[in-house]
Structure 1
Amino acid sequence: MDPFSKKLFKELEQMQQQTGRMLRNMTIARMVPMDTGGWEPPVDIYEAEDEIYVYVDIAGVDRQNLQVTVDEQRLLIKGKRQLPAQASIACIHQLEIELGNFQRTVVLPSMVDVENTSSSYADGILVVRLPKRVKKGKVNIEIQPGE
Structure 2
Amino acid sequence: MDPFRKRLLEELEHMQQQHTGRILRGMSLLRMMPLVSEGWQPAADMYEAGDYIHVYFDLAGVAGDTLGVTVDGRHLHISGHRELPTHHAIACIHQLEIELGAFQRTVLLPAAVDVEGVESTYSNGILMVTLPKKSRKGKVSIRIMSGE
| TM bracket (short chain) | 0.7 to 0.9
1:92 corresponds to which residue? 93
Give the TM-score of the pair, scaled to structure 2.
Answer: 0.73
Q: Give, in whole Å, the separation in 2 of the partners of 1:141 and 1:34.
A: 52
Aligned alpha-carbon RMSD (Å): 2.0
2:61 corresponds to which residue? 60
* Partners of 1:40 and 1:103 within 8 A in 2: yes
Displacement of 1:28 in angstroms is: 2.0
Displacement of 1:71 in angstroms is: 2.4
- What SS class does the counterpart of residue 119 from structure 1 fall into? strand
* Partners of 1:70 and 1:114 within 8 A in 2: yes
Q: Give, in whole Å, the separation in 2 of the partners of 1:29 and 1:140.
A: 48
Displacement of 1:146 in angstroms is: 4.7
Q: Percent sequence identity over matched residues?
A: 56
Alignment of 1:49-128 (within 5 A): 49-128=50-129
Q: Give, in whole Å, the separation in 2 of the partners of 1:97 and 1:47.
A: 30
Displacement of 1:35 in angstroms is: 3.1
Give the TM-score of the pair, scaled to structure 1.
Answer: 0.74
Displacement of 1:47 in angstroms is: 0.8
Q: Which runs of 5+ in 2 are unaligned?
A: 1-17, 26-33
Summarize deviations over 1:13-67 as a string: whole Å, max 9, x none.
xxxxxxxxxxxxx812333765325111100111101101101001000011111
Q: Which runs of 5+ in 1 are unaligned?
A: 1-25
* Partners of 1:72 and 1:113 within 8 A in 2: no
1:138 corresponds to which residue? 139
Kindly provide the amino acid, as one letter, of the partner of residue 102 in structure 1: F
Establish whether residue 28 from structure 1 lines up as the match of residue 29 from structure 2. no
The count of corresponding residues between Structure 1 and Structure 2 is: 122
Q: Give, in whole Å, the separation in 1 of the partners of 2:52 and 2:73.
A: 13
> Which one has a bigger Cα radius of gyration?
1
